[in-house]
Amino acid sequence: MNAKRRIIRTALLALIGLVVGCTIAWLQIQADRNQQTMPQAASNTLVSGIALDGSFDMTDHTGRAVTQADYDGRFKLIYFGFTYCPAICPTELQKIAQVMKALDSAQAEKIQPIFITVDPERDTVEVMRQYVEMFDPRLVGLRGTPEQTEKVKQGFKVFASKVDTEDGGDYTVDHSSFIYLMNPANQAVGIYRMQDDAAMITADIARILGDS
């Protein structure tokens, strides 16, 4: 009887947790919608009220030590992920490649696309080099020590967490998926979500470049 009660209680708590989780997700979606339809909002993006530290100290895919200062005077289009990601990372990096191709050459010259790995353990400089080449010759891949990686994740408020797979041999990484547009002063001026397509991002970047 006791065990049965415990099971029922656990099931109830799980159900409550699910409802609370869904409500939070729903509220988040509503907030995003409101933000998008706000007439005074200059952009379609989620930037308002988000302060990010856009600095980094890492190694690029050619083995060169770089910081944000190496891309001075340019905007940066930054995505965080890992090369073993089966679907979302390649989709988003493909999107960045499409945006770079869709911008006219004068606009594209003002943008440095960057992929930062949240899995430096497996994403060595060589792995990063081979990976970024598949998307766009202009794409820079950055990796850091675990400490450097933690710091840049915190700066951009990136969530990423290692998850062991069922078979126990390999692991995957759950991570947030946003494309950040940083201005030359390293402030976020655009944050794009998975549902924002290349055409929308291209138009938004062209508008932002036109204003700057």
Span near Ni ion by CB under 5 A; candidates 36-44, 66-74, 89-97, 161-169: 89-97
Q: What whole-number distance in Å separates Cα of residue 177 and Cα of residue 179?
A: 7
Interface pick for Ni ion out of 8, 88, 134, 203 (rule CB under 5 A): 88
Q: How far is the CB of 160 from Ni ion (least distance, A)?
A: 9
Number of residues near Ni ion (by CB under 5 A): 4
Is 85 a binder of Ni ion (CB under 5 A)? yes
User: Nearest-CB residue to Ni ion?
Assistant: 85
For Ni ion, which is the closer residue by CB, 160 or 200? 160
Give the closest residue to 201 by CA, choosing from 119, 115, 97: 97
Count the Cβ atoms, other than its own, within 10 Å of residue 64: 11
Interface pick for Ni ion out of 45, 56, 60, 81 (rule CB under 5 A): 81
Q: What whole-number distance in Å separates Cα of residue 118 and Cα of residue 58?
A: 12
x/- contact string, 31-70, with Ni ion (CB under 5 A)? ----------------------------------------
Is 116 a binder of Ni ion (CB under 5 A)? no
Is 93 a binder of Ni ion (CB under 5 A)? no
Is 182 a binder of Ni ion (CB under 5 A)? no
For Ni ion, which is the closer residue by CB, 85 or 139? 85
Is 120 a binder of Ni ion (CB under 5 A)? no
Q: Which tokens go with 89?
A: 């990372």
Q: Which tokens go with 175?
A: 């991570």
Is 27 a binder of Ni ion (CB under 5 A)? no
For Ni ion, which is the closer residue by CB, 93 or 108? 93
Interface pick for Ni ion out of 47, 89, 111, 128 (rule CB under 5 A): 89
Q: What whole-number distance in Å separates Cα of residue 129 and Cα of residue 133?
A: 6
Q: How far is the CB of 80 from Ni ion (least distance, A)?
A: 9
Q: Which long-range contacts (C-beta less than 8 Å, at least 24 apart) are formed by 145-148?
A: 145/120, 146/120, 146/121, 148/56, 148/57, 148/58
Orientation of helix 88-102 relative to helix 198-211, angle to 10°: 50
For Ni ion, which is the closer residue by CB, 81 or 141? 81
Q: What whole-number distance in Å separates Cα of residue 20 and Cα of residue 25?
A: 9
Please report, for residues 132, 135, 175, the alpha-carbon distance to residue 94 in angstroms, rounded to integers and kept in the order given: 10, 6, 18
